């Protein structure tokens, strides 16, 4: 049915409701490159307006699709018609409590801007998705976003204390606490972290903060063997050193970056590892020396430690250049975020190489080796139907391979549409049915972000991107 635009406009105002094809197009896609056009886009100002919109959706039986910045990789915010509810007008940092090290923010606050704000208090908000310069904290909570620092500091849910949110039936509830401890009732707050907009729309978010580290040191190590690189990572962690970042780049990634930047990277190396440690200066000097020793003992052919901020930026330049570098290989890619136990990384990457040969594809591996989260980029031209089909088969085999290694098909991107055909393979029929029951209990009319996670959809796998 068509949306009741006059009623929606009465809630948010005409200036906060989009209807033209040109305007709707801007909210028809995310970073997955899939596209589906909504009927309307609303920009509510507060919890009361969101609640009114959701109650209206229940009354008139139209779907609503919560959306932050649209930076997700799996189509989790994509509409199937209906009304997109964008939360970027709720963009205030409501409170930073330096003494109790907590903060209250609205969902439209940009993650990177929030980190800068708390740093003025000597505090630190560690979650660091690659999109932190433009992704919102509300979207980060919805997808339980991670990032390079997860190996030491964890992911978004580890800093989430409480929520104010609008349920799919329109009620406004509060979950969690403003304290570090609290065990009253079911843990609704943790349930909502990673719920992908299917169980509610956040209007306030309470997070915990930690003291900012005194210093940061950055170093790289080059290895002629992938196994040696992973062994070095494991030995570093066994030595009671927990780097804040451990990033791995395989040979295909190194070659792609070198072709792009021409900065003299060791293209013959099988792996390059970028590490960061943070903490007091007196501790870091010893940790850096020990990491260099462990890497050399494990077979590193070269180690380099940054001695200034400029050198640190230079070492990070290669890692940050991966995305533009990959664009020189093929015009498109499927970016999977599979995760396995650290010790299985060499086996995973060797199997991926076999997969690339089997389907005549270029597959590049890099990512957060400290927690086993390896970004597997299947390079393709989406206009080539045959290549699209081969890539889809490679994805299916990749997921089966990862589950066989004791891993997960998503370490940080989520399910959305892209991984919906495979969720049951990981959680089992019983686990999936339990999730469906939770969804049904909170959203009896299936109003909020329907056809995500629980509805197997092969749109992404089969290459139908529009």
Exposed, middle or buried, 33 (CB in 10 Å: 0-12/13-18/19+)?
A: middle
Residues 2-31, mean pLDDT to the nearest whole number: 96
Architecture of domain 93-211: 2-Layer Sandwich (3.30)
Interatomic CA distance for residues 360 and 385, integer angstroms: 14
CATH number of 215-324: 3.30.70.2190
Identify the pLDDT of residue 323. Answer: 85
pLDDT in tens, 387-424: 999 999 999 999 999 999 999 999 999 999 999 999 99
pLDDT at residue 464 is higher than 70 = no
Residue 102, SS3 per DSSP: strand
CATH number of 5-86: 3.30.43.10
Q: What is the band of 443 on the pLDDT scale with cuts at 50, 70, 90?
A: very high
Give, in order, the Cα–Cα distances in Å from 327 to each of 109, 334, 340, 402.
30, 12, 26, 26
Fold of 329-404: Alpha-Beta Plaits (3.30.70)
Domain boundaries, the chain: 5-86, 93-211, 215-324, 329-404
Q: Do domains 93-211 and 215-324 have the same CATH topology?
A: no
Residues 429-448, mean pLDDT to the nearest whole number: 97
pTM value? 0.94
Cβ atoms 284, 316 nearer than 8 A: no
pLDDT at residue 463 is higher than 70 = no
pLDDT at residue 1 is higher than 80 = no
Exposed, middle or buried, 140 (CB in 10 Å: 0-12/13-18/19+)?
A: buried
In degrees and rounded to multiples of 5, residue 365 shows phi and psi of -120, 130
Mean pLDDT of the chain: 95
pLDDT in tens, 53-80: 999 999 999 999 999 999 999 999 999 9
DSSP-assigned letter for residue 159: G
Identify the pLDDT of residue 367. Answer: 92
Cβ atoms 146, 156 nearer than 8 A: yes
In degrees and rounded to multiples of 5, residue 375 shows phi and psi of -75, 120
Identify the pLDDT of residue 356. Answer: 96
pLDDT in tens, 321-330: 998 899 889 9
pLDDT at residue 466 is higher than 70 = no
Locate 187 and state its tokens.
């843990």
Cβ atoms 230, 249 nearer than 8 A: no
Residues 312-321, mean pLDDT to the nearest whole number: 89
pLDDT at residue 465 is higher than 50 = no
pLDDT at residue 245 is higher than 60 = yes
Length of the chain: 466
């Amino acid at each position: 049915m068509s949306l009741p635009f006059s009623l929606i406009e009465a809630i948010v105002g005409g200036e906060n409701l989009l209807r033209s094809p040109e305007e709707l197009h801007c909210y028809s896609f995310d970073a997955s490159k899939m596209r589906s056009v909504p009927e309307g886009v609303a920009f509510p100002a507060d919890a009361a307006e969101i609640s009114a919109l959701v109650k209206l959706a229940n009354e008139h039986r139209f779907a609503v699709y919560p959306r932050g910045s649209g930076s997700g990789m799996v189509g989790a915010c994509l509409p199937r018609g209906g009304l997109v509810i964008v939360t970027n007008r709720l963009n205030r940092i409501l409170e930073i409590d330096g003494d109790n090290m907590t903060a209250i923010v609205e969902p439209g606050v940009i993650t990177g801007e929030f980190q800068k704000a708390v740093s003025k208090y000597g505090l630190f908000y560690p979650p660091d998705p690659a999109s932190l310069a433009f992704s919102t904290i509300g979207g980060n909570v919805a997808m339980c976003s991670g990032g390079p620092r997860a190996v030491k500091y964890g992911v978004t849910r580890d800093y989430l204390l409480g929520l104010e949110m609008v349920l799919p039936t329109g009620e406004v509830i509060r979950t969690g606490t403003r304290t570090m401890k609290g065990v009253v009732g079911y843990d609704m707050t943790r349930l909502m972290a990673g719920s992908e907009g299917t169980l509610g729309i956040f209007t306030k978010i309470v997070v915990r903060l930690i003291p900012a580290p005194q210093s940061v040191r950055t170093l790289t190590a080059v290895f002629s063997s992938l196994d040696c690189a992973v062994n070095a990572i494991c030995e570093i962690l066994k030595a009671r050193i927990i780097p804040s970042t451990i990033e791995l780049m395989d040979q295909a990634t190194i070659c792609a970056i070198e072709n792009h930047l021409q900065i003299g990277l060791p293209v013959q190396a099988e792996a390059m590892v970028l590490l960061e440690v943070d903490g007091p200066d007196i501790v870091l000097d010893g940790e850096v020396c020990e990491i260099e020793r462990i890497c050399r003992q494990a077979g590193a052919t070269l180690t380099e430690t940054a001695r200034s901020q400029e050198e640190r930026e230079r070492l990070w330049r290669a890692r940050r250049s991966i995305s533009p570098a990959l664009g020189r290989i093929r015009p498109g890619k499927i970016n999977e975020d599979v995760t396995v136990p650290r010790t299985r990384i060499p086996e995973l990457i060797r199997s991926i190489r076999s997969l690339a040969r089997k389907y005549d594809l270029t597959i590049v591996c890099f990512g957060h080796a400290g927690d086993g989260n390896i970004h597997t980029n299947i390079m393709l031209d989406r206009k080539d139907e045959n290549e699209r089909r081969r890539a889809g088969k490679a994805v299916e085999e990749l997921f089966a391979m990862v589950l066989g290694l004791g891993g997960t098909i998503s370490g940080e991107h989520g399910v959305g549409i892209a991984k919906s055909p495979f969720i049951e393979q990981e959680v089992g029929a019983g686990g999936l049915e339990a999730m469906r029951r939770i969804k049904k209990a909170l959203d009896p009319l299936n109003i909020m972000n329907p056809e995500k996670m629980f509805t197997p959809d092969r749109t992404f796998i089969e290459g139908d991107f529009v």
